[in-house]
Structure 1
Amino acid sequence: MSAAMVARVMRTAHPGPLVDGLHASIITAGLAVGTCAGGGAIDHGYGLTAPLWVGVILALLGLAGLVPERFDRSSPS
């Protein structure tokens, strides 16, 4: 899926090494945060299924970033 996302990012943005590097860095940071959060949930005694729930929560947070700007109160109606 990463290759498809890179293709979409490169098609949307002006292609350049910074765009591709930033995209790769964001993916790596997401992997690190998700792994740390899942391990922390196991460490706190929530069991081996806890990383699945951490993944669901992180996915929902990611989807929340797709909320349209029409809910912004500063824009005129």
Structure 2
Amino acid sequence: MNELTAVRELSPQDFLLLGVNDLAYVKKASHEGKEVYLVFSADGTQIATMADHDIAFAAVRQNGMEPMSVH
């Protein structure tokens, strides 16, 4: 089985688990009139709220994950 075939045969749940331990998503939001940065695991679970973009990225990296921006 080649890689493309293997990816096509993933269930939706299996697809969600891809990168779950390796990636975190950082999204800008507003909370109580202030700009904040929300950090989500690859499966969409919110795991942190940070006041600064650079701090959010640094925190993700300190936890062994690669940060990705979400717009």
Fold match by TM threshold 0.5: no
Which structure carries more strand by proportion? 2
Which structure is higher in helix share?
1
Give the structure with higher Rg (CA): 1
Higher RCO (Cα < 8 Å, 6 or more apart): 2
